[in-house]
Structure 1
Amino acid sequence: MSEVRVVIADDDVLLREGLSSLLTQAGLEVVGQAGDADELLTLLGREQPELAIIDIRMPPTYTAEGLDAAVRIRTEYPGVAMLLLSAHVEVDHALELLEGGDGRKGVGYLLKSRVTDIADFVSTVDRVAGGASVIDPALVYELVAARRRNDPLGALSARERDVLTLMAEGLSNAGIGRRLWITEGTVEKHVRSILTKLDLSETADDHRRVRAVIMYLDTVA
């Protein structure tokens, strides 16, 4: 690993010292430590590091001080890569960090429990310092799960999505069957399943097929 100037911000002194020792042994230059967001911002102005490792929850309220500092750092110190550490998976915090990036500097989100895997942690630090985006696998799982929960089409199978896509193109069941090389009867079964999974109950005029297409178009828009 090439020598990189790093600052560490965490109110846990033992963790800070441990990370400092670990990173120093790995060839990085730890140029400062901070116990809260204000100290971190002061350090950044004084030391001009390439990477900041930041605990999301710090004094005084232990809510999102680290994240708020990261948002400021992105604006005030755009050349600094950031690796945020958290004791728990916090999807909203991670999204705020990731969605605001411009892709020019590295950014990472890692659970503190991953620090115990020294080789993996050092590799993550190296990648973030080099400009990569690194996301904890547990967060990836939660992000996918959240997307599925918020996606009205999330319950559909891949084949049902194919059928719905062709419905949106205006194809009849027969046309869909020809396009997908399946029988019209099979298409009808898929359509019934789609309408059931989308919770589109029958009505007097029963425009469920149209309503399903509208849901699809709203999702892909």
Structure 2
Amino acid sequence: MRIVIAEDAAMLRDGLRMLLTARGHDVVAAVGDGEALRAAVAEHEPDVAVVDVRMPPSHTDEGLRAAIRIRRDHPDVGVLVFSQYVETRYAAQLLAEGAHGVGYLLKERVADVADFLAALDRIADGETVLDPEVVTQIMGASRRVETLATLSSRERDVLALMAEGRSNSAIASALFLSYGSVEKHVSQIFAKLGLPPSDHDHRRVLAVLRHLQA
């Protein structure tokens, strides 16, 4: 896998580079600010960019805003936001740019290197990987829309787990439900959110985006 790293902390940047290289990945660039990140992605067209949120010059949200630009300009490049911080406004916007091949993980909550590497693989394969705490904070910062208010408590539980990228089987296990019950809840969620079957739109992604942007 070809990877670009954007991290302003030099020791962490070098540590990530060494870790990924040791695991057989090709780190084509490791940079320390948003402008350098965008330039590196344009030059190398990596499979995934690993991006911190707060980078120079203001150390606020440059990395996340650069990630949004990358999603617009290079939609085939996966983006993993890897940070200590959740910037809810731009996180929702990042997902709105297209929820395939995108992830947002919190550094202090990644306890196992294998989980981090697995997340990279999933993002490179076009999946969505979200830390549950990221989902919770985005939800907390968002106001409820009328359509979401029609969901039952159980349907909201199912939708929250969908937002974490879980399959129906994983949701069934987490909520101690049968697979068939989860399928029924998912169908009800689609119906209540006005998401009919379509050959062109991924209803699961659209439902999650409604949930996060509410």
How would you bin the TM-score normalised by the shorter chain?
0.5 to 0.7
| 1:146, distance to aligned residue in structure 2 (A) | 4.3
Letter in 1 for 2:51: I
Aligned to 2:112: 117
Asked if 1:150 corresponds to 2:144, the answer is: yes
2:61·2:87 contact (CA, 8 Å) conserved in 1? no
2:2·2:47 contact (CA, 8 Å) conserved in 1? yes
Asked if 1:126 corresponds to 2:124, the answer is: no
Letter in 2 for 1:150: R
Asked if 1:141 corresponds to 2:136, the answer is: yes
TM-score (norm 2): 0.64
Aligned to 1:188: none
Aligned to 2:61: 64
Runs of 5+ unmatched residues, structure 1: 160-221
Asked if 1:33 corresponds to 2:30, the answer is: yes
1:114·1:121 contact (CA, 8 Å) conserved in 2? no
Runs of 5+ unmatched residues, structure 2: 154-214
Q: Deviation digits for residues 110-147 of structure 1, max 9, x if unmatched?
A: 11213442111111111111111111111122234445
Q: How many aligned positions are there? A: 153
Aligned to 1:45: 42
SS at match of 2:104: strand
2:72·2:97 contact (CA, 8 Å) conserved in 1? no
Aligned to 1:86: 83
Letter in 2 for 1:121: F
Asked if 1:97 corresponds to 2:94, the answer is: yes
SS at match of 2:75: coil
Structure-2 change in CA distance of 1:158 and 1:20 (3 Å): same
Sequence identity of aligned pairs in percent?
A: 44
Structure-2 change in CA distance of 1:145 and 1:44 (3 Å): closer
- Tell which structure's C-alpha radius of gyration is larger: 1
Letter in 2 for 1:93: Y
Q: Which has the bigger relative contact order, CA under 8 A and spacing at least 6?
A: 2
SS at match of 2:103: strand
> Within 2, Cα distance between the matches of 1:35 and 1:8?
8
| 1:89, distance to aligned residue in structure 2 (A) | 2.5
Aligned to 1:205: none
| 1:56, distance to aligned residue in structure 2 (A) | 1.1
SS at match of 1:109: strand
| 1:45, distance to aligned residue in structure 2 (A) | 2.3
TM-score (norm 1): 0.62
> Within 2, Cα distance between the matches of 1:123 and 1:39?
26
Letter in 2 for 1:123: A
Find 1:16's aligned residue among 9, 13, 17: 13
Aligned to 2:203: none
2:3·2:28 contact (CA, 8 Å) conserved in 1? yes
Letter in 2 for 1:18: G
> Within 2, Cα distance between the matches of 1:85 and 1:117?
14
